[in-house]
Amino acid sequence: MTNYKTPRRGLDHPGVIIVLVIVGVCSLIAGVIWHEPLMRLVGRGDSKSGQQVSPPGSQTKQLWTCGMHPQVIREVPGLCPICEMELTPVQSGGSSTGTASSGERKVKYWWDPMMSPPYVSQEPGKSPMGMDLIPVYEDEIIAGPAVMIDPVVVQNMGVRIASVVEGPLRVSIRATGYLEEPEPNHLDINLRVAGWIQKLHANIDGMRINQGDPLFDLYSPALQVAMQELAAARKSMQNPNAAATAPSDIMRAAYDAARRKLELAGVDQAQIEEIEKADRVPDVVTFRSPMTGHLTEKKVYEGAAVEAGQLVLRLADNSTMWIDLRIFEHQLSLVKIGQNVKATVEAMPGKEFDGEVIFIHPHLDEMTRTALVRIAIPNSDLQLRQEMYATVRVESEVAERAILVPREAVIDTGERQVALVAVSGATFEPRRVMLGAAANDGMVQVVSGLAPGEAVVTSGQFLLDSESRMKEAIQKHLSANLLQPRSENGTMMAATQPETQPAAEIIAGAWTPEVDLAFVEYLKIAEILGAKQEAPTAVDPASFIDTTKLLADQSTGEVQALADAVNQAASALAGKPIEEQREAFKKLGDAMIALAQRVPPSNAVAEKLFIAYCPMAPGSWLQTQEQIRNPFYATSMKRCGEIKGVLR
């Protein structure tokens, strides 16, 4: 048998080595050729340049706008179709900070909205009431895209920053009213028996009366009888022989009845005791003041006959005064019974009086939407008088712990309340907020939208808010593909055609050849001013002035008035430098438009007259072509303006 030896095919075989070398060379060549396409396919950057290649659709489209007309938004650079100024690039404000880069919602702060005021915290947990804090996400309160502005520009804009603080919320109410004498401190002196006023001691209205001072002396037959009965009963009780004829209890009852009769007649105890001690019954009874005050009304005179039940005098005690205020319904929750207040009166400037709220009326006036609040003020020195004008300041602590910002930090449109939050030194974020009560020191309560420690803009926020609104408008234009269409030469196409002005008010039969001459001369001046003038020179309006003067002299009525107005405006151009002539041309344009609407020129002047308007000047003028030729500027902004109407 013959033995055959199998040849070895290992890695050290020459054929295998050659194959491996060929495969390696091919791989290297393929890697060099297909490296960049493969890296782009997987989203990796070019290794040679070190730049990152963004995935498709992630590039932000560069837009261009006009600084004078921000409504113009272009996808390519060029000139503004309105004023022919060079368009400037719109700076990208970056992505909104309302969401995290990973797509997850970002928590701005935690709060408990059930508390009053709401409890806000930078960390999760529980509120003082033991409730779990609810997260507030950034996308719930962000009011627009963030704005990034160069720090130098921020400084030039005068942007000022203030911190959101937390502290007590004190609210002050200022109201006015009039001083009144308290109703319970009034006292009427009425007679219980008939008689005559023998002597009137309180005889001057307003006089000061102390308690116990005599008011008047009254002679009354009924009182005479009662006093004589008292005297007789007293003598009987004191006479030892009287006990044999009448029991002592009967005499005591007669004595008590006589005293009671005098008490019911209005005689006080001190006078009754004087009557008892007197040897003889007095002719009159002196009635004395039961209080300290002043006489407000005197109903009788000395010697007058009076009847039982008749009002004689009226007294008032003004040691305490009232101030009746009218408080609006939205402020009533800040006023409580027993609350201390401060009051001032015009009669004593610089002096404050301490008062107290003693009454709040339960009803609301339906016309003024106010309620009566009554203040009591001590008047021990009697300096306060009825009907004085008083100003009251009521201070109330609404909450011991509230979030406060300066009032000027919030832009309030009535439906939208926005604060600009300084996220960093150059980035500002509009934030929707909800306001509460306004504090005394210019601060205002923020119910939601801000957290303590954040920084808000207090000056320049309107410019920042307008910048954010413009960026938001651009984003909406891009998302809805609302960019204005452009013609093939790159200019923006007009969305609408100018309306032809009606000729219903033309004055019939008022046209004369001088009308055409006036418009011809005017259009010559408009053509000169509307052309670009590198070295502008003043125009000569002499011929135009003579023509309008001739038109005014030959016209009557309304046409004459219109021609006079044109002549006066034209005369303002004479002898002026070109800059002042351009300014005076505004008034001339208004006068010529008014004349053209009432007395239009014939077709020999122009088949159509376009009424143009420039919002930057501002001013209006007439021209014969549709393309804007602005007469108010020399070289720049010659296309600034729009056609407002067409005559004929």
Q: Which of 164, 96, 245, 94 is nearest to 448 (CA)?
A: 164
How many CB atoms are located within 10 Å of the residue 478 CB? 15
Binning pLDDT at 50, 70 and 90, where does residue 180 land?
very high
Q: Which CATH number fits domain 143-172+398-478: 2.102.10.10, 3.90.79.10, 2.40.420.20, 1.20.20.10?
A: 2.40.420.20
Q: Is the predicted pLDDT of residue 540 greater than 50, yes or no? A: yes
SS3 122: coil
pLDDT digits (tens, 9 = 90+) for 124-146: 888 777 778 878 776 555 555 56
pLDDT digits (tens, 9 = 90+) for 78-90: 887 777 777 877 7
Sign of CA dihedral 370, 372, 373, 376: positive
Residue labelled with tokens 């009987």: 236
Domain with CATH 2.40.420.20 in the chain: 143-172+398-478
Q: Which fold has domain 183-316?
A: OB fold (Dihydrolipoamide Acetyltransferase, E2P) (2.40.50)
The torsion angle over the Cα atoms of residues 530, 532, 536 and 540, rounded to 10 degrees, is -30
Residue with more model confidence, 196 or 473: 196
Beta strand residue intervals within 453-528, DSSP E: 455-459, 500-501
pLDDT-wise least confident of 146-150, 307-311, 341-345, 627-631: 146-150
Residue 231: both structure tokens together: 């005297």
Q: Is the predicted pLDDT of residue 614 greater than 60, yes or no? A: yes
Cis bond before residue 618 (omega within 30° of 0): yes
Q: Which of 539, 547, 527 is nearest to 622 (CA)?
A: 527
Asked if 195 and 284 touch (Cβ cutoff 8 Å), the reply is no
Q: Is the predicted pLDDT of residue 550 greater than 80, yes or no? A: yes
Q: Is the predicted pLDDT of residue 9 greater than 50, yes or no? A: no
Residue 575: both structure tokens together: 């002898």
* φ/ψ of residue 503, rounded to 5: -110, 30
pLDDT-wise least confident of 141-145, 500-504, 636-640: 500-504
SS3 109: strand
pLDDT digits (tens, 9 = 90+) for 158-177: 778 888 988 888 888 899 99
- Sheet strand arrangement including 88-89: 73-74, 64-65, 88-89
Asked if 499 and 642 touch (Cβ cutoff 8 Å), the reply is no
Binning pLDDT at 50, 70 and 90, where does residue 74 land?
confident
Instruction: Please report the DSSP string for 359-412 in residue order.
Output: EE-SS-BTTTTEEEEEEEEE-TT----TT-EEEEEEEEEEEEEEEEEEGGGEEE
- Triad 156, 160, 161: Cα angle to 5°: 140
Instruction: Please report the DSSP string for 548-560 in residue order.
Output: HHHHHHH--HHHH
Q: Which of 317, 315, 311, 276 is nearest to 197 (CA)?
A: 311
pLDDT-wise least confident of 50-54, 140-144, 335-339, 591-595: 50-54
Q: Which of 528, 545, 527, 546 is nearest to 537 (CA)?
A: 528
pLDDT-wise least confident of 92-101, 129-138, 542-551: 92-101
Domain with CATH 2.40.50.100 in the chain: 183-316
Q: In residues, how long is the chain?
A: 648
Q: Note the pTM of the prediction, 2 decimals.
A: 0.46
Cβ neighbours of residue 376 closer than 8 Å, sequence gap 6 or more: 182, 320, 321, 322, 355, 356, 358
Binning pLDDT at 50, 70 and 90, where does residue 279 land?
confident
Q: Is the predicted pLDDT of residue 39 greater than 50, yes or no? A: no
Residue with more model confidence, 589 or 495: 589
